[in-house]
Chains A and B, each alone.
Chain A
């Protein structure tokens, strides 16, 4: 009888495809939107992920997320180093500084100052030059996206037309940059994770960053801490808090804190949530409607089966099987389309991260859709009087 059910289902191609389309559409929309949401949320703490070596971040207790800059006194570094269980602790400067471009315009840059001695906290990937080049005078490392877009130089002007010839020229190693009226020379190009901040990222040493920065009493943004092997990082966080009065979080906690901040204080989750719910509802409506129509069209056939001795349980099984098949195919098509969407969007700036939970949750949602879609049909068929078979 299972074969009969499947044949019935595929007998009406248009409806069959219609139901699959509904489920696929819902799966695609839910998976794709959720993946973009997760992708965006991952971006919020991109800087924490990029800074891989330390396992604890120490900061002002009022800091709420990664870009919330509340500098500390330099002396705090030594107090953190004194806490039992700390293997090493280095300072990190993070601040927004103005760079002057060759055409006279200004561009705000996200300047990261890393420990002069150890160079801990540097970019995750160097494209050109090496991190050690930061030891040279006035040196900075610029991220590739910033170097080729916002920090790119003006192309030469055609004297005849007064128009620029060709596209803007990316900033490259050996070029100069003016940061807050301080001359800096580019010694390397790096790649960093995309974050919500679209400013170019400029790496330099901590000392140089503090000379670039406007004179202020406090300049150290974070203390990056590595715990001694065998030390419980959470317990160490507690000890640092107690000893220094500062906030200390593991990298994971700090990332999550940042995500929560963006979730709470931006419209991002609501917008994506609406898309996901919409996908669910529209998918349910399309799939439910077509599946119900399919059942109505086949009511006479179900009636004949009922008259010929097929019980309710068996018919229910047949409908469930039909629903399961369209659900599985629709789900596969939808999630597959979402994955190829990622593939097609390839190198673009799109935030898209399909963690395994997304297809898993989509699968649950599709199950609900399919159950809802088949429920009406099941009720209809169970209530069906087999006597309808004799009606013309």
Chain B
């Protein structure tokens, strides 16, 4: 009995360290699309580790597979080969229903085109992930209003998307991605429709509100103006990750980042 008593905390610590370490672990992930008889190999063997508490960016030329990669990571697209775990879970072993539930609870989304529901007010839009997770309407709206307050839109909870500026809409979208406290938030070009100033506001919100040591943020972007917010930048080309830049605020543009940092 003594030995078990002694071993238990140790085992737990080992487990914790493993869990804490990585939010996303991908190796050798491939994905192809068949279009008009041709197979497009969008991902050709992706090795990607994103740590807990990390803000990772994916950059690279158009068509290199960035969107495909975050779609696989977020569980809205099935990979062909390779290994991919998100918080230790593998989508390949889940049923469609389990995947849907996992997404609803664990993943938040921010889209380039905001993708707010035009007929819903800001508060109602933000409440959607909570409603999907079965939270009662009144409670969901209350939480949504609080979240809107945190992104600086406490006064605009009853506005429709079309009554808001692009930056405000993206803030609503970010509030929506965060309201149910998902552990992973994926963003596809969150700032490309915004001006410099607004883009920075949005990034600050993402970094300060959505990120803590138990969560991770993956952002696809072309926007060099926001590179400074990243902990690491993964450079992609032709379906592969070709380079990793650490602490880009210090070393952006410098070549020869450590691929296994």
Residues of A within 8 A of B (CB): 1, 3-4, 7-8, 10-12, 300-301, 304-312, 314, 385-387, 389-392
Contacts and interface: CB of A to CB of B under 8 A. Distances in A.
B117 A392 contact: no
B131 A4 contact: yes
Given A309-B100, A311-B97, A390-B67, A1 B111 contact: no
Contact of A307 (B74, B117, B119): B74
B137 interface: yes
B132 A305 contact: yes
A309 B101 contact: yes
Contact of A387 (B77, B96, B118, B133): B77
A301 B137 contact: no
B100 A311 contact: yes
B71 A390 contact: yes
Given A387-B71, A390-B71, A309 B133 contact: yes
B203 interface: no
A304 B132 contact: no
Contacts of B103: 307-309, 386
B115 A300 contact: yes
A1 B70 contact: no
B112 interface: yes
Nearest to A9: B119
A300 B114 CA distance: 11
Given A4-B128, A310-B100, A386-B76, 13 more contacts: A1-B132, A11-B117, A304-B115, A306-B76, A307-B103, A307-B109, A308-B104, A308-B132, A309-B133, A311-B97, A387-B71, A390-B111, A390-B112
A308 B129 contact: yes
Contacts of A309: 100-105, 107, 129, 132-133
Closest 8 CB pairs of A and B: A309-B104, A11-B119, A386-B76, A7-B119, A309-B103, A304-B115, A387-B77, A311-B100
A307 B132 CA distance: 11
Nearest to A8: B119
A3 B137 contact: yes
A8 B113 CA distance: 18
B54 interface: no
Nearest to B160: A11
Q: Is the interface of B mostly helix, strand, loop or mixed?
A: helix
A205 B97 CA distance: 83
21 contacts: A1-B132, A4-B117, A7-B119, A8-B120, A10-B119, A12-B119, A301-B117, A301-B118, A304-B111, A305-B128, A305-B132, A307-B103, A308-B103, A310-B104, A311-B100, A312-B96, A385-B77, A386-B76, A387-B71, A387-B77, A390-B67
A207 B71 CA distance: 96
Interface of B: 67, 70-71, 74, 76-77, 96-97, 100-105, 107, 109, 111-113, 115, 117-120, 124, 128-129, 131-133, 137, 188
Nearest to A1: B131
A300 B116 CA distance: 10
Given A390-B70, A392-B112, A8 B117 contact: yes
A61 B112 CA distance: 84
Which of A306, A386, A391 has the most B CB atoms < 10 Å from its CB? A386
Which of A8, A300, A392 has the most B CB atoms < 10 Å from its CB? A392
A12 B117 CA distance: 11
Contacts of B117: 4, 7-8, 11, 301, 304
Contacts of A305: 128, 132
B76 A389 contact: yes
Contacts of B118: 11, 301
B216 to A, nearest CB: 18
A252 B71 CA distance: 71
B135 to A, nearest CB: 11
B117 to A, nearest CB: 5
Contact of A310 (B67, B113, B132): B132
A309 B182 CA distance: 12
A8 B77 CA distance: 26
B191 to A, nearest CB: 15
Which of A1, A307, A390 has the most B CB atoms < 10 Å from its CB? A390
A392 B133 contact: no
Given A304-B115, A387-B71, A390-B111, A7 B124 contact: yes
Contacts of B104: 308-310
Nearest to A388: B76
Nearest to B186: A390
A193 to B, nearest CB: 53
Contacts of B120: 4, 7-8, 11
A43 to B, nearest CB: 50
